[in-house]
Amino acid sequence: MDLLWASATELAGALGAGEVSSREVTEALIERAEAVDPKIKAYLQRTDERALADADAADERRSRGEMRSAYDGVPLAYKDIFVTRGITTTCGSKILENFVPPYDATVVERCDAAGLPMLGKLNMDEFAMGSSTENSAFGPTRNPWDLDTVPGGSSGGSVALVAAGAAPWAWGTDTGGSIRQPAALCGLVGVKPTYGLVSRYGMIAFASSLDQAGPITRSVKDAAALLNMAAGGDDMDSTCLKEPVPDYLVGIDRGIDGMRIGVVKEFQGEGSQPGVRARVDEALTRLEKLGATLEEVSMPSFEHGISAYYLIAPAEASSNLARYDGVRYGHRSAADDIVQMTSRTRDEGFGAEVKRRIMLGTYALSAGYYEAYYGKAQKVRTLITRDFEKAYSNVDLIVSPTSPTTAFKIGERTDDPLAMYLSDVYTVPVNLAGNAAVSVPCGLSDDGLPVGLQIIAKSLDEKTMFRAAYAFEQDLGLDERPNI
C-alpha cells in the first residue's frame, strides 16, 4: 500500500490488520511534507513531535485492543482557523501571529477523542477571506497540480496538503465556498455540512451565520467518516443542532437509481470555462446512466447571491473582528492612547482584503444604511431559501459546477477584488440558505487541471448527498494525481 496516496479508510484498514503502524504512517507523511511542502507551502506550522507522540499513543492503544475509534492512528491536519491548545493559531493573520490558545476547538477535541494524530496547522486566506489563499499574511500556497496556480481558498493549505499526498485528510471551513472551491481546484472531495451540524466553538469566526467546518478528503467515504466524528450537538455552541446524527457511512453505497436531480437553469451556459462546462456535462450524463433523472430547476434568486453574500458576510465579519484590538492577545502596535493603539494595531495587523471587508461591513451596518444593505441582503437570503425549498419539492438533489473556472494563476486576480468574489457564484447560495453541499472531482479540464461537480442536498440530508457522490465517484473511477 502506498501510504501517501491511500485513503484514510484504507489506512484505517491497514492499521486494523496490523499491516502498518500509526508511527510508520505518520513518519511517511512527515517525510513527504519535507519533500513537497517547500514547493506548495501548505503548512503554517508542522507539529511533528506532537504527531509522533499521538501516533505512538495510538499504536500503544491498538496493541492493547483499546482503540478510540475505527480511525485511531490515522493522522490529520487542521486549517489554522481551528484553535488548538498550546499550539499557535494564527488564522492566516499577522494580528494573531503569536497567539497561543489555552483551549481547543470542539472539532479538534472530537478528533483527538477519536485518536487522530495532529500533523499541524495549515495555511489559509487571512480570516478565511478569499478564494485563492493569496490573502494569507504568510505567503500563498501553491496548487500541487500546477505550482504557478492557486489551490483556491480560503482552505488552500488543507487541500494542497491532501492533494500532494502529505496527509490523507484535513479540516477546512466554508463560508461562501471555501472548502468546495479549493477541493474542486485540487481534485478532492470537500463537504460543507448543513449549517449547525458541526460545532463552531473554537473555529475563529468570519461570518457567524454562514461559517461551517467540513472535511477535505480523497474519497467520499473518508468525508462521511470524518463528518461522523465531529457532527452533533455541543453545549458550547447554541447554534449547533441537538438532534441525533445518523451514521453517514450507512447506506452510502445504495446507488442513485430513481433519484431526481435538479440542474440549475440560471447556471447553464455562460459563466463557466468551456473545459469546466464539458466535464460537468459529462458528469450529468453519468448520473443519468446511474439511474437518476435530471430536471431543470429555476432558482431566480441565485443571481443575487453574491450581492447578498458580500453584504452579509463582511457585516458580520466587521463585528467578529472587532475583538482584535491589541488589548488582551495578539499583535499590539505602540501608541500614546487607546484609540491610536487599536487603530494602528489593526491597520498593521490586518491585510488589505480583511480591511476592505471590515470597511464594507461597517458601512453596510452603519446608521442610515442598515435597511438598504444588510436588511435587504437578509431578505434575499429568504428568497434563496424559498427557491431551494420549492426545488426540493420536485428533486432530491441539485447539481452545478463548483467553480466557474479551473485554478487560475497566482497574482491573476489580486488586483480585482470583484473578479475574485465572482468565483463564489455557484457556492454562495448554499451558505446563505444553510443547507449542505459536496464537491466531487469530475475529471480534468483541457488545461490538465481538476474540475469539481457540486452536489447540493437539502438541510440535514447529507446521506442522500453522500450516496450520489459515492455512486458517481465509484463509477467515474478517477485515478489522477498531481505530478509532485
Partner 1 sequence: MPLDRAAVDHVARLARLDLSEDERARMQAELTQILGHAEKIQELDLDGIPPTSHSVPLSNVLRPDEVTPSLPVDEALANAPEAEDGRFRVPRIIEDA
Partner 2 sequence: MSVKEDLYETTVGLEIHVELATRSKMFCGCSVSFAGEANSRTCPVCLGMPGTLPVPNERAIEYTMKIGLALNCDIAERSLFHRKNYFYPDMPKNYQISQYDLPLCERGHVDIAGDFGETRVGITRVHLEEDTGKSVHMGGTGRIADSDYSLEDFNRAGTPLVEIVSEPDIRSAEEARVFVAELRSLLESLGVSDVRMEEGSLRVDANVSVRRSGEKEFGAKVEVKNMNSIRSVGRALEYEEKRQREALDAGETLVQETRHFDEKTGTTSSLRTKEFAFDYRYFPEPDLVPLAPSTEWVQRVRESLPELPAVRRVRLASEYGLGAADISVLTGSTKTADWFEAAAAAYGGDAKKVVNWIIADLFGLLNEAQMELHETRFTPAQLAGLISMIDEGKISGKQAKLVLADMFESGDDPEKVAADKGLEQVSDAGAIETAVDEVIAENADAADKVRAGQMNTIGFLVGQVMKKTKGQANPGMVNELLRKKLSS
List residues near partner 1 by CB under 8 A: 98-100, 102, 195-196, 209, 235, 238-239, 241-242, 304, 306-308, 310-311, 318, 322, 325-332, 335-344, 346-347, 350, 352, 355-356, 358-360, 362-363, 366, 372-373, 375-383, 385, 417-418, 421, 432-434
The whole-angstrom separation of Cα 350 and Cα 96 is 10
Site string for partner 2, 163-202 (x = CB under 8 A): -------------------------------------xxx
Give min distance, CB of 351 to partner 2, in A.
16
Name which of 99 and 414 has its Cβ closer to partner 2. 99
Name which of 94 and 376 has its Cβ closer to partner 1. 376
In the list partner 2, partner 1, none, the entry touching 316 (Cβ below 5 to 8 angstroms by class) is partner 2
- The single residue of 21, 41, 79, 439 carrying the catalytic annotation is 79
Phi, psi of 445 (to 5 degrees): -75, 175
Peptide bond into 154 cis (omega under 30): yes
Q: Is 343 a catalytic residue?
A: no
Residue 366 DSSP label: S
Helix (H, G, I), strand (E, B) or coil at 189: strand
Give min distance, CB of 451 to partner 1, in A.
26
Q: What torsion, rounded to 10 degrees, do the Cα atoms 77, 404, 408, 46 define?
A: 0
Q: For the segment 308-347, give every residue that binds partner 2 (CB under 8 A).
A: 315-316, 319, 322-323, 325, 327-329, 338-339, 342
Identity at 447, one-letter amino acid code: D
Q: Is 178 a catalytic residue?
A: yes
- Cell readout for 253 is 453505497
In the list partner 2, partner 1, none, the entry touching 372 (Cβ below 5 to 8 angstroms by class) is partner 1
Q: For the segment 88-107, give every residue that binds partner 2 (CB under 8 A).
A: 89, 91, 96, 99, 101-103, 105
Q: Is 459 a catalytic residue?
A: no
Residues 367, 371, 393, 477: which binds partner 2 (CB under 8 A)? 367
The whole-angstrom separation of Cα 305 and Cα 411 is 25
In the list partner 2, partner 1, none, the entry touching 390 (Cβ below 5 to 8 angstroms by class) is none
Give min distance, CB of 196 to partner 2, in A.
9
Beta carbons within 8 Å of 418's beta carbon, 6+ residues apart: none
Give min distance, CB of 310 to partner 1, in A.
6
| Sign of the alpha-carbon dihedral angle for 34, 37, 42, 44 | positive
Helix (H, G, I), strand (E, B) or coil at 193: coil
The whole-angstrom separation of Cα 300 and Cα 289 is 28
Residue 448 · residue 239 · CB < 8 Å: no
Chain mean position to CA 184: 11
CA distances from 196 to 100, 165, 218, 341, 434 (A): 27, 31, 24, 37, 8
Identity at 453, one-letter amino acid code: L
In the list partner 1, partner 2, none, the entry touching 145 (Cβ below 5 to 8 angstroms by class) is none
- Cell readout for 123 is 495555511
In the list partner 2, partner 1, none, the entry touching 89 (Cβ below 5 to 8 angstroms by class) is partner 2
- Cell readout for 77 is 491536519
Residue 459 · residue 434 · CB < 8 Å: yes
Give min distance, CB of 423 to partner 2, in A.
24
Size of the site for partner 2 (CB under 8 A): 43
Residues 235, 288, 303, 416: which binds partner 2 (CB under 8 A)? 235
Mind telling me the catalytic residues? 79, 154, 178
